[in-house]
Amino acid sequence: MISKEPSQRNSFYSRLAGWKSSRGTRYILFVVLLVLFYGSLAPNLVPQRFDIQVGAVSEKDIVAPMQIPNNKATLQAQETAAEKVEAVYTIVSMHRDTVMSQMLERIESLNQDDQISSSDKAQIYSQEIPQRIRNSVANFIRNHRESGNYSAQLMDEMQKTISNQTYSIPEETFLKIPRLSTEEVQQMSQVATSIVSRLMSDQITDAQSARARVAEMVSTSSLNSRTAREVSQELIRATLTANKFYDEEATKAAKVEARENTPVVYVQQGDIIVPAGQVITQEMYTLLDENNLLKNEVNYWPQLGLLLFAFLLVLGIYVFFRQNAQRGTPYNNSQLLMLILIFAISIISFHLVRILQTGNFPYFGYLVPAALGAMLITVLLDIHLAYVCSVILSILVSVILNMRQNEIFDYQFGMFTLVVSLTAIHCIHRASQRSTILKAGIMTCLFGALTVLALVLLDDESWTRMTVMYALGFAFIGGLLTTVLVLGLMPFFETTFGILSALKLVELSNPNHPLLRKLLIETPGTYHHSVMVGNLSEAAAEAIGADGLLCRVGSYYHDIGKTKRPGYFIENQNHMENPHDSIDPKLSKSIIIAHARDGVEMQKEYKLPKPIRDIAEQHHGTTFLHFFYHKALKLAEEHGVEPDFTEDDFRYPGPKAQTKEAAVVGIADSVEAAVRSLNKPTVEQVETMIEKIIKGRLDDHQFNECDLTMKELDVIAQTLKEAVMGIFHSRIEYPEDIKKPELKEKKV
């Protein structure tokens, strides 16, 4: 029963790890990824359609499957905006002070003519002054019609308004004008032109309001003569006209602009269009029909197109996986499952941002944590895979956040995502500390903002200063949000999938870790041995494309179980007797093989990741303890009894190495111990010993459950030989050239 325990445990581990390499499981996971891509893009590319009729009662809530424009509501909003536009008035500079000056010059000239009687002068004034005022207006309108400075409709409105507001000078005024002296006329010229100029500088829609102010202004003027004041008042009133006129064309243009500037009214995704139990109106039906959301005819082509599109995206990842496998670094199903989860989290974040995004505020889309997937894939999986997935995520974002009607992609969000993803990969792919993630996040903020600015400059017509500031701000916030999410999600993936990122491994390699400090203080010999094994295994692992950093850190902890009974291991037996010399070899065997199990328990207590624990548990595999077995045989023979044990009783319980890393650490462990046991090793001895150790483990089937190849074992042997020669350089004796004895010539 005892002899079968190792093989049973090995079988259990084989079945447990089987799903990670199962081809059927892998195909299922790729199908899951296909469904994920299809489902994430369907709301935008293949919206749900409804089979309804006007007048029927809706059996369930009809919800908008995507953001759709409401044309009727938009038209109503446009008309409301147009109605709110106030009438536009245009101010026309009339220069009526010039007309006043010319009239007074005429009065001054005519009054000086003694050949004409006062009554005739009054008669002339009664005809000439109104005619002058009318002609000045007519000439002004005619000149501006011909020049095209103002529209014909405005000139018509001006002529109509001035005509309706014409002022009639009383007849008695004309009788008073001939009695004015030259000095009075000259004085009137200064005052009247000044008053006209001042009044016409205001905006006048009704001349009567301006004329009402004339009497007060003239009374407070410098005119002393009553007649001069009375005549001046009447002439000023007659000269004044409106200068602000209703502009029908400008008003219509303002209404058109108001309609054009009215934002489209959207029914947001998830809004209820028709509540359950409500009668479907023509308006509801038209809204759905205008946006192609009715099942007027069966059409499966969009679904097929989306399925092919999603298939192409998955095919790209599948081909990359195949090429990686051909290069000797295949991904297992656990890594594929993690990749699917990263895609799912990224897509969920895209849709959450999509909820905030509206037709009026599309720049909310830059809040998306665009580089989240790229950063997680780089740190947890592989930089090359991150580049491939960055392109795919950019495509997904350009569809999910697309606000452009009748377009499939929005290149702006796609370009933004691609730039920040590539920036994040470049900044984080050699990360050795978690602070590097923060630095990468800051770089994505900066490059994201630069990308937004570039896109704005390319399409500046649809942007305002305020929207540009919002877009830049959201791009910066999105970068910081990405950093927070990456730092928060990494422990989840590391714990759930047993992933050891480079960041985590560097943290575990810190000598101040409680277990490493315990190892150094209580078993300094084992600590030194572990460090040496770490150097050797790292070099060998990197030579075959395995995880060198994992081998180094795993080596630091692989013998931590020896701290339970440090004196029973030879590297810690300085200046003391070997306790194994005085105890039963079966007990010695139990103590020796227990260190692997004890190490695993201690690592579990300190919550070390599973790959580190696996190295501690598997580095000896099910190897045979020759020394204690033969010692037990010798004791049995000396006591004249039959052995009550077999070779299997003197083997480590396993399991055998399940990964390349565990196998490499096991080989390096044996090599370091063997070389250390030699007094004055030579290069030939080291080379022979390494080959013997690898061949012995190979013949003992210790590599049957990991994917090491014979070629890789040769590379490991050569690398370990070079590394040992470098590490133990001062101790290894190089063979000296042996001089052949010179043959003495025989004397004849």
Residue 689 CA to residue 672 CA, distance in Å, equals 10
- How many domains are there within the chain? 3
- For residue 346, tell me if it sits in a domain: yes
Residue 573 CA to residue 569 CA, distance in Å, equals 7
User: Is residue 599 within 8 Å of residue 564, measured between CB atoms?
Assistant: no
pLDDT-based confidence at residue 602 (cuts at 50, 70, 90): very high
- For residue 263, tell me if it sits in a domain: no
Give the tokens for residue 415. 């370009």
Which of 429-433, 616-620, 701-705 has the least mean pLDDT? 429-433
**Structure confidence by residue, pLDDT tens digits, 247-287:** 888 899 999 999 888 888 877 766 777 788 788 777 877 87
What's the whole-number mean pLDDT along residues 410-417? Answer: 90
Same domain, 341 and 363: yes
**Structure confidence by residue, pLDDT tens digits, 339-373:** 999 999 999 999 998 888 766 667 788 888 999 99
What's the whole-number mean pLDDT along residues 653-681? Answer: 88
Position 748 scores a pLDDT of 28
- Residue 668, domain CATH: 1.10.3210.10
Give the tokens for residue 419. 């730039």
Same domain, 527 and 410: no
What's the whole-number mean pLDDT along residues 319-330? Answer: 81
Task: Give the bridge partners for 91, in sequence order.
Answer: 244
Chosen domain end from 499, 522, 553: 499
- For residue 627, tell me if it sits in a domain: yes
> pTM of the full predicted structure?
0.61
Does residue 133 register a pLDDT over 80?
yes
Q: How far is CA 297 from the centre of its chain?
A: 39
Domain that residue 456 falls in = 5-44+300-499
Handedness of CA 40, 45, 46, 49 (dihedral sign): positive
Task: Give the bridge partners for 294, in sequence order.
Answer: 50
Same domain, 539 and 457: no
- For residue 57, tell me if it sits in a domain: no
**Structure confidence by residue, pLDDT tens digits, 161-209:** 988 999 999 999 999 999 999 999 899 999 999 999 999 999 998 999 9
- For residue 743, tell me if it sits in a domain: no
Position 269 scores a pLDDT of 66
Same domain, 340 and 471: yes
Position 404 scores a pLDDT of 72
Handedness of CA 417, 418, 421, 426 (dihedral sign): negative
What's the whole-number mean pLDDT along residues 662-685? Answer: 86
Give the tokens for residue 579. 């306790």
Does residue 4 register a pLDDT over 60?
no
What's the whole-number mean pLDDT along residues 42-62? Answer: 76
Residue 606 CA to residue 369 CA, distance in Å, equals 34
What's the whole-number mean pLDDT along residues 599-622? Answer: 90
Position 743 scores a pLDDT of 36
pLDDT-based confidence at residue 741 (cuts at 50, 70, 90): very low
Instruction: Give residue for tokens 């001046």.
Output: 232
Average pLDDT of the residues of the chain: 84
Position 415 scores a pLDDT of 92
Q: How far is CA 721 from the centre of its chain?
A: 48
Same domain, 517 and 492: no
Looking at the chain, the number of H-run helices and the number of E-run strands are 30, 6
Same domain, 600 and 455: no
In angstroms, what CA-CA distances link 739 with 442, 733, 734, 736, 746? 68, 18, 15, 9, 21
Same domain, 511 and 457: no
Q: What percent of the chain has pLDDT over 90?
A: 32
- Residue 346, domain CATH: 1.10.1760.20
SS3 223: coil
Same domain, 532 and 399: no
Does residue 6 register a pLDDT over 50?
no
Residue 250 CA to residue 253 CA, distance in Å, equals 5
Most confident residue range from 384-398, 437-451, 460-474: 384-398
Same domain, 697 and 609: yes
Position 170 scores a pLDDT of 92
Give residues with Cβ within 8 angstroms of 474, minimum separation 6.
363, 364, 365, 366, 367
Give residues with Cβ within 8 angstroms of 605, minimum separation 6.
none
Residue 521 CA to residue 628 CA, distance in Å, equals 29
Task: Give the bridge partners for 69, in sequence order.
Answer: 266
Position 328 scores a pLDDT of 65
Q: How far is CA 415 from the centre of its chain?
A: 10
Q: Which residue has the higher pLDDT, 529 or 403?
A: 529
- For residue 624, tell me if it sits in a domain: yes
**Structure confidence by residue, pLDDT tens digits, 466-511:** 878 888 888 889 889 998 999 888 888 887 887 777 778 888 888 8
User: Is residue 620 within 8 Å of residue 565, measured between CB atoms?
Assistant: no
Which of 102-111, 378-387, 456-465, 529-538 has the least mean pLDDT? 456-465
What's the whole-number mean pLDDT along residues 37-44? Answer: 88
Residue 37 CA to residue 34 CA, distance in Å, equals 5
- For residue 474, tell me if it sits in a domain: yes
**Structure confidence by residue, pLDDT tens digits, 516-536:** 999 999 999 889 999 999 999
pLDDT-based confidence at residue 296 (cuts at 50, 70, 90): low
User: Is residue 317 within 8 Å of residue 396, measured between CB atoms?
Assistant: no
Position 692 scores a pLDDT of 92
User: Is residue 331 within 8 Å of residue 324, measured between CB atoms?
Assistant: yes
Count of other CB atoms within 10 angstroms of residue 681: 19
Residue 732 CA to residue 734 CA, distance in Å, equals 6
Does residue 673 register a pLDDT over 80?
yes
**Structure confidence by residue, pLDDT tens digits, 711-732:** 999 999 999 998 888 776 545 5
Same domain, 557 and 673: yes
Position 742 scores a pLDDT of 40
Same domain, 327 and 226: no
Chosen domain end from 480, 499, 518: 499
Chosen domain end from 225, 246, 267: 246
Position 405 scores a pLDDT of 63
Same domain, 600 and 493: no
- For residue 647, tell me if it sits in a domain: yes
